[in-house]
Amino acid sequence: MSGRTLVAMSGSEDVAGRDWTDLAGNAPGIGVSYEAARRRQSGGVGSDRSWRVGADGEVLAAEVLAELTAPSRWERLRGRAPAWRVLHSVPLGDERGRVRGDIDHVLIGPPGVVTINTKHHRAGRLELDGDALVVNGRPREYVRKARREAERASEFLRPALVDAGEPALAARLTVRPLIAVIGGRLLVRSWAPGVTVVMPRQLVHALHAIPEALDEAAVETVFGVARRSTTWTRAHPPSRR
């Protein structure tokens, strides 16, 4: 178990001497909101609708996650950090520093790391049958993309932990994908291997059900690395499949 806590401050330098910004200040849905504004400006009224709906979904998911990440009264009295930490709208960059999408929520807690992809459907029927997720009769690639998102997060986080002097923690770090379905109705015929798919009312319970793997110090160490913008943009980026 790691015994060190990395304290991150905006405008500091990482172990490679690179300036970084603190992603802990990102608001939920901010990346999608920027894209919605760009599309509205270029395409006119209505062209931003799906992006605004997506941003609303990320905000709603963040409100549920606050049940986990807000410090309890006991934690406040003892001066302890919350057991769970979260980052919203984590931008993924390439070797040239260009943003190539983002992760809606990166949750760090006793089970390790959980990447959460929020899918907001205000109405409709969603059917999950293994890797197949059908929305109102149309197949979606949500499960495959969520799984790949977790893989990419692992490919960024593990080298950053090694650079921070935590090779043992990097080796045992687990990153799990989760899809949070906001709105609509979800019918599960069979679960997707390795991917949790839940509605908001089941989200906290599903997260608590994951076996614990990290102690408090390790959670803080991973969070300290994950909150650095430079963690998600490396000189040699992870492979893309």
Q: What is the pLDDT of residues 48-61, one digit of tens each?
A: 778 788 888 899 99
pLDDT tens digits, 8-51 = 344 565 555 568 899 999 999 988 887 778 877 787 777 777 87
- Burial class from Cβ neighbours inside 10 Å (0-12, 13-18, 19+) for residue 74 reads exposed
Q: Is 111:207 a contact under the CB 8 Å cutoff?
A: yes
Residue 193 lies in a domain: yes
What pLDDT was estimated at residue 15?
57
Nearest residue to 229 via CA among 63, 93, 54:
93
Beta-carbon contacts of 99 under 8 Å, excluding residues fewer than 6 positions away, are: 31, 91, 92, 93
Q: How many CA atoms lie within 13 A of 51 on its CB side?
A: 16
Q: Which residue has the higher pLDDT, 162 or 94?
A: 162
What pLDDT was estimated at residue 239?
46
Whether residue 166 is predicted with pLDDT greater than 70 in this model: the reply is yes
Q: Is 118:105 a contact under the CB 8 Å cutoff?
A: yes
Classified as helix, coil or strand, 221 is: helix
36: how many CB neighbours lie within 10 A of its CB?
20
Residue 101 lies in a domain: yes
Domain total in the chain: 1
Residue 180 lies in a domain: yes
pLDDT tens digits, 123-164 = 889 999 999 999 999 999 999 999 999 999 999 999 999 999
Confidence of residue 1 (pLDDT cuts 50, 70, 90): very low
Classified as helix, coil or strand, 70 is: coil
Residue 240 lies in a domain: no
CA distance linking residue 238 with residue 198, whole number of Å = 28
Residue 1 lies in a domain: no
What pLDDT was estimated at residue 8?
38
Look over the chain and give the mean of its residue pLDDT values, rounded to a whole number. 85
Classified as helix, coil or strand, 63 is: helix
The two structure tokens encoding residue 47: 């062209």
Structural domain for 193, as ranges: 23-232
What pLDDT was estimated at residue 54?
86
